[in-house]
Homo-oligomer: A and B are copies of this chain.
Amino acid sequence: MPEFRHDPVVGYWTIISTERSRRPVEFRPRELPEERRCPFCEGREDETTPEAFAIRKMGTTPDGPGWDVRVIVSKMPLLSESGPAESCSHGLYDRMDGIGRHEIIVESPRHAHDLDELDLPAIEKVIRAYVNRLNAFKKDESVKYALLFKNHGLISGSVRDVIRHSRSQLITLPVIPKRVKEELASTKAYFEREGRCVFCDILKQEKNEAARVVSENKTFLAFCPFASRSPFEMWILPKEHEADFGQLPPKDFHDFALILKECLIKLHDLLEDPPFNLVLHTAPYRHKTGDYHWYLQIAPRLTKNAGFEWGTGIHINPTPPEDAALLLRQTKVRHARTS
């Protein structure tokens, strides 16, 4: 059973992922493993866990072909699904069972598609799946938060295979992470002080200044944030104030798909398919006040953090966001990447 451990000094949680426990020899530098046969492709549904959700063509049956987006539980889950999260403390130290659900959202039946290569209706279906999965756990009192994210071109520390099939992930958590709590506390404090949402104010200032804007449509604004921690970082915000991504109405799926595809194509073309993370920042389940505002963060991983970043939390970004935004705006969206 993986376990959450609470740092007694500042209160962050760490997941000690015993299921993935590695001996020292496994950390030694080695060649990347061979890409193995992809279990996420259409026709290989029996190589995955049973589907939790799918968007399917009429007349097809679960766990068979005929799907556009398919959601399954990870075969190498970060957390365990069994039982309630027991916690205990010993002296200064608190620990909690690592209970949670780890889903894989397979974005396309075809292999090696990047999200931005899909056509707009296909991206809209991915967004529909995001909304569905985020809402799937909202009545479960044991789930405090769900993180929806995507790692593109990255091999994370504990995952040893390198299947390139485009997919996102959703992990449910029995705690609200410190980073999320901080954002909620800050936006609440701003709201109480100013009577307005800080993200709504950011939207207004970004539209006025225009220097950091990458793209805009009727419903969304994409820009490089003022204090970008990674070069070419982008945030996509809904123009209307809404704390919960799960409330995104189907009428807005098209505009969201449009701006997301545009931002990803620009990033791909300008930086030649850089590694990046997508991270959805949304209010925790059953969050009462409406002072938060959801956004999608696109964070290219182009720099390496070392002792300075680790010791201070201050990131060093070599590309001013105004320069990044200008270059991204100037990058024409080639229709060739629309399949």
Contacts and interface: CB of A to CB of B under 8 A. Distances in A.
A277 B299 contact: no
Given A281-B311, A315-B15, A318-B22, A226 B179 contact: no
Interface stretch (A33-41, A80-88, A169-177, A213-221): A169-177
A313 B9 contact: no
A157 interface: yes
A21 B311 contact: no
B226 A314 contact: no
Interface string A257-301: 000000000000011101001111100000000000000010111
A183 B9 contact: yes
Contact of A158 (B16, B171, B303): B303
Interface residues of A, number: 93
A27 B4 CA distance: 36
Given A226-B5, A304-B154, A304-B156, A279 B310 contact: yes
A272 B303 contact: no
A28 B271 contact: yes
B156 A7 contact: no
A305 interface: yes
B327 A171 contact: no
In the assembly, how many copies of this chain are there? 2
B157 A305 contact: yes
A322 to B, nearest CB: 9
Nearest to A272: B28
A12 B169 contact: no
A60 B166 CA distance: 63
A277 B227 contact: no
B308 A156 contact: yes
Interface stretch (A106-114, A198-206, A241-249): A198-206
A305 B279 CA distance: 13
A178 interface: yes
16 contacts: A4-B314, A8-B226, A15-B315, A16-B321, A21-B318, A22-B319, A149-B306, A149-B311, A150-B307, A151-B306, A157-B305, A158-B316, A169-B307, A179-B312, A277-B306, A277-B311
Closest 6 CB pairs of A and B: A157-B303, A149-B307, A179-B313, A177-B312, A279-B311, A156-B306
Interface of A: 4-18, 20-22, 24, 27-28, 78, 91-93, 145, 147, 149-151, 154-158, 169, 171, 173, 177-180, 182-183, 186-187, 198-199, 201-202, 205, 209, 225-229, 231-232, 270-272, 274, 277-281, 297, 299-308, 310-321, 323, 327
